[in-house]
Chain A
Amino acid sequence: MEYLLLFIGTVIVNNFVLVQFLGICPFIGVSKQVSTSIGMGIATTFVMVMAALASWLIQHFILVPLGLEYLQTLSFILVIAALVQLVEMFLHKSIPGLYRAMGIFLPLITTNCAVLGLALNAVLRDYNLGESLVYGFGAGVGFTLALIMIAGIREELEFADIPKPLKGAAIALITAGLLSLAFSGFAGMI
C-alpha cells in the first residue's frame, strides 16, 4: 500500500514535469508527435529505473561508507551517462528499428535533469532500495504521461488557427503552463 501511494504520488501529485518542472527540455522538444513521445517516454523510464538502482547502490556502498556524500551530483551524472550509453548500444544491437526512430533523443536523455533530479531526490528523502525503484518507475511513468498529453494537444494544435505571435514554441509553452495548472489541482492529495 505504501509503495502504491508512493507510485501514484510520483506519477500524478508530484509529477516530475508538470509539478516539479524537471525535464522541461525534452518535454517541449520531443512532444510534437505522440508516437515519438511514447518511445522517448519508455526509454526515459528505463533509464530512470536503472538510475534509481545505480544511484542507491553508489550512495550506500561507496559514498556513505567513505564519507563522500558531497560528490553525489558528480558520481550520479557519471553513472547516468554510462547507463544511457549502455541503453543506446543495446538498442542499436537488439532493436535497430526503435534505435533509428529515437535518433538524437536517445543520447539526450543523459542531459535530462529529471533523471538526475530523481537520483538526488531519492537520496534526499532517504528512500530504501524498493522505494527508490518505485520512485524511479513512477517518475518515468509520470514523465511519459506528461509527454504523451502535451504531444496529443500539440498534434491537434497543428490545425488550429493560432495568432501569428503565438505560433510554435510560444503556444507550446502556454499549453504546458495550462497543463501544469491543471495538475496543481492534485496538490496535497497524498
Chain B
Amino acid sequence: MYNSLVALASMGGLGIILSVGLVIAAKKFSVEVDERIEEIEIALPGVNCGACGFAGCRSLAEAIAEGKAPINGCPVGGIAVAEKIAEIMGADSGNAPERKVAQVLCRGGCAEAAQRAEYDGPNDCRIMNTTQGGDKGCTYGCLGGGTCVEVCPFNAMYMDENGLPVVIEEKCTGCGKCVEACPRDIIILTGEEYGVHIRCRSLAPGKEVRQVCKVGCIACRRCEKECPCDAITVTNNLAEIDYDKCTVCRRCVAVCPVHTIEEQDGKPEIKAKKAG
C-alpha cells in the first residue's frame, strides 16, 4: 500500500513539475499567431501547388495576413476565394487574376512524328531529354514521357493514345507546374479565352521539320500574311502568335498547309479587341 502511494505521488509530482515547467516555457516562448492566417488557409484551395509564388497555401495565408501579398493572390481559387479572403481581412477583393490554362504547343504524337531511335529508359521526359534528346526525330517537340501529367496536382492532364498530353481546360487552374516540368518548354499558360494556338516550337528550317514531323511549322508565312490583326510573326523558322493581338478569327487555321495551327471548339471570336 505504502509503495503504491509513493509511486503514485512521485509520478504525479513529476507530471505536475513538468507540466508547470511547460506552462512557464509556453508563456515565455509564446508566439503570437494571427487568427486570420488559420481562416485564410481554410479558405484557400489547400493543394499547395505554388502557383501564387509562395511555398504553399499556408505561406500565402501568412503573407496575406501580413499584407505582403494581395488578397487575390491565389490564381487557382480565382474570384470566389478572393471574396472569402476579403471578408476575413475586411477589405475589397479587387479583381481576380485572369484565369489561365495550359496549352501544349506540339501536335507531333506517335502518328505524326518520325522516330529515329528506340528508347528503353525511365519514362520521364527530363531523363529522356538528357538521353540523346529522346526517341523522336524532332528535337524541339513533345517527348511523350508524360512528366507534365504526373506533376499536375489537379489531374487536369492525361496522355492520349497518340502519346501527347491533353489539358482538360475545365480542371486546369493555370498553376504552371507542367510548364516548369517540361524540359522542352512546349507548355505555356494563356488566357482561357484564346482558341487558336500554333502548336509547334521547332526552330528547325522547314525542310528539316518536314522530314521529322507531319504537323510541324514549316515557316511558310501564310498565316502571317493572312492574319488581319498582325498577331502572327515568323521568326527563327517558327510562326508565333501574340495573344494580346489575336482576336480568334481563325483565318490562320484555314490557310495553314500542315495544320500546325489548331482551333479549339467553343471559343468565340473576341470582337471588342478589333476596334482597339
User: What 1/0 mask marks residues of chain A from 86 to 127 whose CB sits below 8 Å from any chain B CB?
Assistant: 100110111010000000000000000000000000000000
Name the residue on A nearest B15 (C-beta): A78
B266, chain A: closest CB distance, angstroms: 40
Q: In the bound complex, do residue B7 and residue A71 qualify as a contact, i.e. CB atoms below 8 Å apart? A: yes
| Contact of A93 (CB < 8 Å), options: B7, B22, B29, B124 | B29
* Candidate in A67, A78, A96 with the most chain B CB atoms within 10 angstroms: A78
Does A79 sit within 8 A of B, measured CB to CB?
A: yes
* Candidate in B3, B18, B21, B22 with the most chain A CB atoms within 10 angstroms: B18
Give every chain A residue within 8 A of B25 (Cβ-Cβ): 85-86, 89-90
Does B14 sit within 8 A of A, measured CB to CB?
A: yes
Name the residue on B nearest A160 (C-beta): B122
| Contact of B29 (CB < 8 Å), options: A71, A74, A92 | A92
How far apart are the CA atoms of A92 and B31 in the complex, in Å?
7
Q: In the bound complex, do residue A78 and residue B22 qualify as a contact, i.e. CB atoms below 8 Å apart? A: no
How far apart are the CA atoms of A66 and B10 in the complex, in Å?
9
- Whether A71 contacts B122 in the complex (CB less than 8 A), given A78-B18, A86-B25, comes out as no
Does A82 sit within 8 A of B, measured CB to CB?
A: yes
Q: In the bound complex, do residue B7 and residue A68 qualify as a contact, i.e. CB atoms below 8 Å apart? A: yes
Q: In the bound complex, do residue A86 and residue B30 qualify as a contact, i.e. CB atoms below 8 Å apart? A: no
Q: In the bound complex, do residue B122 and residue A74 qualify as a contact, i.e. CB atoms below 8 Å apart? A: no
- Whether A161 contacts B122 in the complex (CB less than 8 A), given A89-B26, A90-B29, comes out as yes
Q: In the bound complex, do residue B6 and residue A66 qualify as a contact, i.e. CB atoms below 8 Å apart? A: yes
* Chain A residues touching B, range: 20 to 34
Give every chain A residue within 8 A of B31 (Cβ-Cβ): 92-93, 96
- Of residues 1 through 44 on chain B, the ones whose CB sits less than 8 Å from some CB of chain A are 3, 6-7, 10-11, 14-15, 18-19, 21-22, 25-26, 29-31
Name the residue on A nearest B6 (C-beta): A66
| Contact of B30 (CB < 8 Å), options: A66, A68, A74, A93 | A93
- Of residues 52 through 68 on chain A, the ones whose CB sits less than 8 Å from some CB of chain B are 58, 62, 66-68
Q: In the bound complex, do residue B121 and residue A62 qualify as a contact, i.e. CB atoms below 8 Å apart? A: no
- Whether A68 contacts B14 in the complex (CB less than 8 A), given A82-B21, A93-B29, A161-B121, comes out as no
Number of interface residues of B (CB under 8 A): 20
Q: In the bound complex, do residue A159 and residue B15 qualify as a contact, i.e. CB atoms below 8 Å apart? A: no
- Of residues 128 through 166 on chain A, the ones whose CB sits less than 8 Å from some CB of chain B are 159-161
A85, chain B: closest CB distance, angstroms: 6
Does B258 sit within 8 A of A, measured CB to CB?
A: no
Q: In the bound complex, do residue A79 and residue B18 qualify as a contact, i.e. CB atoms below 8 Å apart? A: yes
Does B229 sit within 8 A of A, measured CB to CB?
A: no
Does B80 sit within 8 A of A, measured CB to CB?
A: no
Does A75 sit within 8 A of B, measured CB to CB?
A: yes
How far apart are the CA atoms of A16 and B14 in the complex, in Å?
28
B6, chain A: closest CB distance, angstroms: 6
How far apart are the CA atoms of A75 and B14 in the complex, in Å?
8
- Whether A159 contacts B127 in the complex (CB less than 8 A), given A74-B11, A82-B18, comes out as yes
Give every chain B residue within 8 A of A75 (Cβ-Cβ): 11, 14
| Contact of B10 (CB < 8 Å), options: A68, A90, A93, A96 | A68
Give every chain B residue within 8 A of A85 (Cβ-Cβ): 22, 25
Name the residue on B nearest A74 (C-beta): B11
How far apart are the CA atoms of A86 and B21 in the complex, in Å?
9
- Whether A62 contacts B30 in the complex (CB less than 8 A), given A67-B3, A159-B122, comes out as no
- Whether A58 contacts B14 in the complex (CB less than 8 A), given A89-B29, A161-B121, comes out as yes
- Whether A71 contacts B22 in the complex (CB less than 8 A), given A89-B29, A92-B31, A161-B122, comes out as no
The 10 closest A-B pairs by CB, nearest first: A93-B29, A89-B29, A82-B18, A161-B122, A92-B31, A89-B25, A86-B25, A68-B7, A93-B31, A66-B6
Chain B residues with CB under 8 Å of chain A are: 3, 6-7, 10-11, 14-15, 18-19, 21-22, 25-26, 29-31, 121-122, 124, 127
Known: A74-B11, A85-B25, A89-B29. 6 other contacts (CB 8 A): A71-B7, A75-B11, A78-B14, A86-B22, A89-B25, A96-B31
Chain A residues with CB under 8 Å of chain B are: 58, 62, 66-68, 71, 74-75, 78-79, 82, 85-86, 89-90, 92-94, 96, 159-161
Report 22 cross-chain contacts, Cβ distance below 8 Å, ordered by A residue: A67-B6, A68-B7, A74-B11, A75-B11, A78-B11, A78-B15, A78-B18, A82-B18, A82-B21, A85-B22, A85-B25, A86-B25, A89-B22, A89-B25, A89-B26, A90-B29, A92-B31, A93-B31, A94-B29, A159-B124, A159-B127, A161-B121
